[in-house]
Amino acid sequence: MKIERLAIPEVLLLEPKRFGDERGFFSEVWKRKPLADLGVDVDFVQDNHSLSAERGVVRGLHYQRAPSAQSKLIRVVRGAILDVAVDVRAGSPTFGRHVSAVLSAANWRQVYVPRGFAHGFCTLEPNTEVIYKVDAYYDPAADAGILWNDPALGIDWPLDAENAILSAKDRIAPRLADIPPPFTY
């Protein structure tokens, strides 16, 4: 498995190997040891699976407040997304900055997003399916988010706000400057 640190080094881009033949392929998509060797030791407790029927669906930017904060490992099994992680840790040298990567069924890449980051994605193709592991269970009382197109974040989303397909919750999320920092570095 190839692992690369992104511009915010806590966020990792993983590229599992695929071994193919005339039958199809085999891939080890998650293996604890390669990440543990980098100092990332997570105990995933739940897998989530989403289907977005249209291109331009934006999900995020989401996080869960402590004590229910989550690390995530995101991958695409059909279609493609622009995946985004925003550092929301007060005192971090990268607070308010983001990293992004295109994840697709074709490129087989994954992104590891640690606790202390808001996460979201935009579908680049219709009928995109995303599977992601989390290391804490969903807690409605800890659920929170940041406005996906907060201008202060400078995220270069592949669509205009008028064309984004959003949940009601994501449409009214606050800007980062309007909330107390949810995590400390």
Residue positions annotated with a catalytic role: 62, 132
Cα(76)–Cα(132) distance, rounded to whole angstroms? 8
43 DSSP β-pair partners: none
- Tokens representing 129? 């399916």
Could you tell me if 117 and 96 are in contact, meaning their C-beta atoms sit under 8 angstroms apart? Answer: no
Bridging pattern class, strands 46-52 and 24-27: unpaired
**Residues across the chain:** 185
Angle CA 180–184–168, to nearest 5: 45
Cα(47)–Cα(49) distance, rounded to whole angstroms? 7
Cα(86)–Cα(116) distance, rounded to whole angstroms? 9
Could you tell me if 148 and 170 are in contact, meaning their C-beta atoms sit under 8 angstroms apart? Answer: yes
